[in-house]
Structure 1
Amino acid sequence: MLSYHEPLFRPPSEAYSLILQITLGCAWNQCAFCEMYSSKQFRIRSEKEIFAEIESLATDARDIRKVFLADGNAMVLSFDKMSRLLDKLKTTFPKLNRISAYALARDIAAKTNEELKILSDKGLKLLYVGIESGDDELLQAIHKGEDFTSTSKALQKARKAEIKLSVMILNGLGGKNFSQQHALNSAQLINQIQPEYLSTLVLSFPYGEDHFKQKFKGEFIALSTIELIAEMKIFLENLELENTIFRSDHASNYLILRGNLNRNKQELLSRINDVLNDPKNAQLRPEWLRGL
């Protein structure tokens, strides 16, 4: 039987995946904007415990095709542990065709090119990485523990190992003071990585804006809804992607955008321009009026 330590998070695209909680919490857990694992003390679950859970599903779950490894960065497992885990999953679920996980850039960087390729060959096909921003000053302000270069190198390393990437940028993360450099440098970073999937979420304040400001290193002035969309325009204008599926349709987004970049770039920018040119008549989610 599965035993989950709540809260448990997964990407929307893993709604029909078997979720295995390999770690509890996040190994970093210091980002100013993130409260997902603030209630947990990080630890890696024992291999014996995890394998017992997998074996308990062997009889009733022979048709499992996708597995998502939780919590915040299961990729923190050593190469040896991850390799044994992937072997166990493949032998237990013969129809399995994709294993995915959340990851930090440092988790990827800690493994060699050869190790990443072996993990890919064993079924690790997709990593979800919260990049948040490509701006070094802002990354320092939110205590991300990464910078433009470390993120770019690590994620390109994963792509060379044939591991697909789904990356996320946080719209509004730096507020008014960082808005333009956040948009420009984030676009430059995404251009270097060329991920298969890209999404944007809007910065939210689960414990209130003041709580976030206390954790943010520097002055933070929140963007209005229209300013958030203007920041998105700068970000999209500067993306030069070959074939990336783009989604900005999370519950936090005011303007829903979906497409392929760069193929649908001008269409998406046209929708943004329509909002910026006539915000009063824009078809946005109801909360947008509070931002004007």
Structure 2
Amino acid sequence: MIRTRKGVTSAQIIDGCLKAKETGFALSLTAVLGLGGEERSIEHARATARAFSAIDPDYIAMLSLMLVKDTPLVEAAARNDFVLPGPEAILRELREIIAETDVTGAVFWTTHASNCLALEGSPPDDQEAMPAALDGILAMGSSAPPQPESLSGL
């Protein structure tokens, strides 16, 4: 198993973001789906949701991890020390983040080309609708139409 080295702790990220909010900055946060790998996907989702909830940002965006050649993560994947979650696992991770995030009105979206599903909403107004939409897609299983990678432009 490999752990990502971000260079800061979650507590440091939260502290820095709260200081920025105190000075009046609008905060836009981005998290990377799949960064915990298959093994730690839900753990990563819950930690991400805790951080989002503590910060209460104005905007939340999600990207999906894409492995780039000649990086430590690709090397770890080649050794099977890191397994990139598949689309269904990514959607479960996304669902967990949305369901567990408690914010006062952030705009939340997954419209980046790296994601297999474009989703937009504003918790708490859409706090139930977004996970329900994901539940519907997950219930379809492999018959759910993923976004073809060729359309992502990446």
Structure 1 length-normalised TM: 0.47
Larger radius of gyration: 1
More strand by share: 1
One-letter code of the match for 1:201? L
What are the residue-to-residue correspondences of 1:56-135 with 2, within 5 Å? Answer: none
Does 2:8 match 1:146?
Answer: yes
Name stretches of at least 5 consecutive residues in structure 2 with no aligned partner: 150-154
Q: How has the CA–CA distance of structure 1 residues 265 and 283 changed in structure 2, closer, same or farther, with 3 Å as cutoff?
A: farther
Inter-partner Cα distance in structure 2 for 1:281 and 1:222 = 21
Which structure has the higher relative contact order (CA within 8 Å, separation 6+)? 2
Q: CA deviation at 1:211?
A: 5.1
Deviation at 1:280, TM superposition (A): 3.3
- In the aligned structure 2, how far is the partner of 1:215 from the partner of 1:277? 31
Question: In 2, Cα distance between the equivalents of 1:247 and 1:232?
Answer: 11
Query: Residue 238 of structure 1 corresponds to which residue in structure 2?
Result: 100
- Kindly state the Cα deviation for residue 213 of structure 1 after the two structures are TM-superposed: 3.5
Q: Say yes or no: does 1:188 pair with 2:53.
A: no
Q: TM-score, normalised by structure 2?
A: 0.87
Corresponding position: 1:222 with 2:84: yes
Match of residue 28 from structure 2? 166
Q: Runs of 5+ in structure 1 lacking a partner?
A: 1-137, 288-292
Structure 1 position 254 matched with structure 2 position 116: yes
Please show how residues 243-282 of structure 1 align to structure 2 within 5 Å: 243-282=105-144
Call closer, same or farther: CA 1:173–1:236 in 2, change over 3 Å. same
CA distance in 2, matches of 1:192, 1:275: 29
State the 1:215 CA deviation: 6.6
Kindly report the root-mean-square deviation, in angstroms, between the aligned alpha carbons of the 2 structures.
2.0
Alpha-carbon separation, structure 1, partners of 2:25 and 2:148: 38
In 1, Cα distance between equivalents of 2:39 and 2:67: 18
Q: What amino acid is aligned across from residue 173 of structure 1 in structure 2?
A: L
Cα shift readout 1:156-201 (whole Å, capped 9, x = no counterpart): 0000100111110100011112111100011001000000000000
Identity percentage of aligned residues: 23
- Equivalent pairs counted in the alignment come to 146
Measure the CA separation in 1 of the matches of 2:124 and 2:81.
Answer: 34
